[in-house]
Amino acid sequence: MFTGIVEELGSVVGLEQGPESAVLRVRGRIVVSDATHGASICVNGVCLTVVDHDEETFHVDVMAETLRRSSLGVLRAGDRVNLERAMAASSRFGGHLVQGHVDGTGTILGRTPGDRWEVVEISLPDELSRYVVEKGSIAVDGVSLTVSAVSDSGFEVSLIPTTLALTTLGHKGVGDPVNLEVDVLAKYVERLLATTALAPPISRPVPTPTTQTVPTNAPINAPPPWAEV
């Protein structure tokens, strides 16, 4: 599990393509400082498992499903990538809930610079549009961002100087692909509502009321026989 707060801007050392998979080698001194075999590292928004590492680089296997869903397959040696280690239970939750399970890819449609910030417009696959709302959260290349606007063609995010300087989003241009992960809570709510609507109503037994009979010869002010003395 991740928070979408990029720890390091790493670089691709190499990508060895196989028939249906690939081996990706990445340089990132911070994220490998405490890496172990089997550790999880988020690379451009994709959760990957460390299979080998040294003091500066780590290797991960990239399966066919990941290559199909994400933009990792187009990486080349020297490309910069966003890196984040899995969140520790004692860490601050700085971004939002990011699983590292990419839902699809978008394309940068435009960049509008401000005095120290930029508005970036990104295309959105039709099947993901219902999960993206204004002021909601979305992970773009693993960066936790707030949606500033939604349109028919996609959505917009506003990037502060820190994001521009310390992530790949400050360097990508119009036409470049980005990995997208929508808020998982939206998908859970959709699934819950759909299954609830189809489920039969729960039948609960109606309790039968009980009655108590007062003896006819009991004194008027006497407590009923079942009362505690």
Query: Is residue 229 in some structural domain?
Result: no
| Shared domain check, 181 and 129 | yes
Fill in the DSSP letter of residue 77: T
Domain assignment of residue 208, yes or no: no
Tally of structural domains, the chain: 2
* Helix, strand, or coil (residue 218): coil
- The verdict on residue 223 lying in a domain is no
Q: What is the CATH number of the domain that holds 117?
A: 2.40.30.20
What's the whole-model pTM score? Answer: 0.81
Q: Are residues 134 and 72 in the same domain?
A: no
Domain, as residue range, for 129: 104-198
Question: Does residue 217 form part of some domain?
Answer: no
Strands (E), the chain: 8-17, 22-27, 40-43, 46-53, 57-62, 80-85, 104-113, 118-123, 137-140, 143-150, 154-159, 177-182
Residue 92 located in a structural domain: no
* 152 and 73 in a common domain: no
pLDDT tens digits in sequence order for the chain, 229 residues long: 899 999 999 999 999 999 999 999 999 999 999 999 999 999 999 999 999 999 999 999 999 999 999 999 999 999 999 999 998 877 777 778 889 999 999 999 999 998 989 999 999 999 999 999 999 999 999 999 999 999 998 999 999 999 999 999 999 999 999 999 998 888 888 888 888 766 666 667 767 766 666 556 656 566 665 555 5
Give one word for 88, left, alpha or beta, with left for phi > 0 and alpha for psi -120 to 50.
beta
DSSP state of 189: H
SS3 content of the chain, % helix, strand, coil (to 5): 15, 35, 45
